[in-house]
Copies of this chain bind each other. A is one copy, B any other.
Amino acid sequence: MSENTDPTLTDQWLAQLQTSGYRLTQPLRVIVDILVNSPRALGPVELYDLGRKEYPRLGLVTVYRTLDKLEELGLVQRVHQIGGCHMYLRATQGHEHLLLCTRCGQVCYFKGDDLSALFNATAEASGFVIQEHWLQLYGLCANCQS
C-alpha cells in the first residue's frame, strides 16, 4: 500500500464496489488506492505503471476493466485532453466542475456556477432543448505561477 493519505474515501469506494456485486481483489485495491490519492488525472498506462510498483504482476487489461467499473459507478470520470485521448480522475461530487493546471496537471474541484440565464437565452435563440453542460477551466496553480 502507498501512503494512503485518505483511507476513508478508499474504504467508501471499496464498500460501494462490494455492494454492487464486485469482488475485492488485490489489483482492484491497488488501483483504487492510487486513484483516490492522485492529485491529477491519470491515463491507463500511467496507472498501470504506478500500480505495478505496488503489485508487479498487475495486467494492463485489469486497469482498463477496473476503470470501466469505477466509471460505471460514477467514482471516476474521464477528462478529455486537448490533444488526444482522455485520462481518468476522481469524479466530481454533485454539481462540481474542474479547474486544471496547464503546467503540472493539478486538479481543483469547484462549484457555484449558475448558467441558467445563459441556458435560457441560448435555448430560445436556437430552438434546442438543453439537456447537459460541460464546463472546464484551465489555468496555472499557485505552485506553477513562479
Identical chains in the assembly: 2
The digit string for A108-122, where 1 denotes a CB below 8 A from any CB of B, is 101011110011011
Question: A90 vs B107: C-alpha distance in the bound complex, in angstroms?
Answer: 29
Residue A3 at the chain B interface, CB threshold 8 Å: no
Interface size on A, residues (CB 8 A): 39
Indicate if the CB atoms of B112 and A121 lie closer than 8 Å. yes
Indicate if the CB atoms of B122 and A110 lie closer than 8 Å. yes
Nearest 8 interchain pairs by C-beta: A127-B142, A80-B80, A130-B139, A128-B139, A132-B138, A134-B136, A108-B126, A131-B139
Interface, chain A (partner B; CB < 8 A):
78, 80, 82, 84-86, 99, 101-102, 108, 110, 112-115, 118-119, 121-123, 125-142, 145
